[in-house]
Amino acid sequence: MSVTSSAPTVVLHLGAHKTATTHLQHSLIAQRIPLWQRGIRTMMPPHLRGGGQSLEALFDLPIKRSVTGHAPDPAQVRDKLVGRAKRFVVSEENFLGVLQTRQGRVRLPLYPRARERLGMLIPVLSPERGVDLCFAIRDPAGFLNSAYGQVMMAGHVIASDQFKKQQPLGAVDWVDVITRLRATPGVNRLTIWCYEDYLSVFDQICHRMLGGCDLPVAPLPQAIHGGLSRTAVARVLGAEPGRKVDPVEARQTWPVGPDHPPFNAFTAEELALSREFYTAQVDQILAMAGVDLLRP
């Protein structure tokens, strides 16, 4: 299919969860107006959630529900979203699927319907050009430690040993996720970075997402959704019957910092195994055709 000169470049940043995604989104939101003045329109979760609004709802995609049959023409939706922008940047980690189930477990394998969901979105969002995709990965142990805090703050108080049994390290398989994303029709360049390198490659991330515009974007100085500290988890799990400690309040009372190190559920041996597994995954991703892994 020929590409018209008016079709914008579309960039999708789809997470993953617990990889500083919200921090990146807020760093870009802070520059939303100057970016728009440069022909770059951004759309982030504050503009895509609430009131029944979502990417799938905008295009009436049968992802979480049956289609209504009353959606406008996709071209009209695109025109409303993009306007006259030359570049349209969307960041929404929930489009690929949620992090946890209603029972408080991490949904594994990760993003099982990723290819199916993307395969529905791309033809209506960018039928002429396809999309450039951005995605971050994280060491399985660190990912699960952070997910454990998220599960706790969602109201599912569970002992860390039980959580680890339900979500084994080996089930956090980024190679599987990236393989499925890359194989989705309409995906052009797929840019990956490691959470552990996030601040070191922040400028590279912005360059890939924003197309090298002349606006410098700085990462916000503070974390947006900090995890639970070791003290906070201990207070929640050690609370006496009838005197429950709310995990969200515990995060505020005993925040991660010099006095309260972040919670870690894994032994030194498990951490070493996770790093070894993660390193092997990164090596496999580096060898994939059509995938760029940003490095410091």
C-alpha distances in Å from residue 80, one per residue of 1, 74, 256: 23, 10, 42
The answer to whether residue 68 scores a pLDDT higher than 90 is no
Instruction: Tell me which of 63-77, 138-152, 179-193 is least confident.
Output: 63-77
Average model confidence (pLDDT) across the chain: 92
- 252 pLDDT tier (thresholds 50, 70, 90): very high
> What is the model's pLDDT at position 70?
64
The answer to whether residue 3 scores a pLDDT higher than 70 is no
> What is the model's pLDDT at position 58?
87
Q: Tell me if 115 sits within 8 A of 181, measured CB to CB.
A: yes
CB environment 121-148: b (16+ within 10 A), e (fewer):
bbebbbeebbbbbbbbbbbbbbbbbbbb
C-alpha distances in Å from residue 78, one per residue of 1, 73, 91, 232: 18, 9, 16, 45
The answer to whether residue 96 scores a pLDDT higher than 80 is yes
The answer to whether residue 1 scores a pLDDT higher than 70 is no
The answer to whether residue 71 scores a pLDDT higher than 70 is no
Mean pLDDT of the region 267-294:
98
The answer to whether residue 66 scores a pLDDT higher than 70 is no
Return the higher-pLDDT residue of 103 and 219. Answer: 219
Instruction: Tell me which of 49-53, 63-67, 87-91, 267-271 is least confident.
Output: 63-67
Alpha helices in the chain (DSSP H): 21-29, 32-37, 45-48, 55-58, 74-82, 114-125, 140-153, 160-166, 174-182, 202-210, 230-237, 247-253, 268-286
Domains, the chain:
9-139+173-222+275-293 (3.40.50)
C-alpha distances in Å from residue 250, one per residue of 13, 84, 231, 282: 31, 46, 8, 35
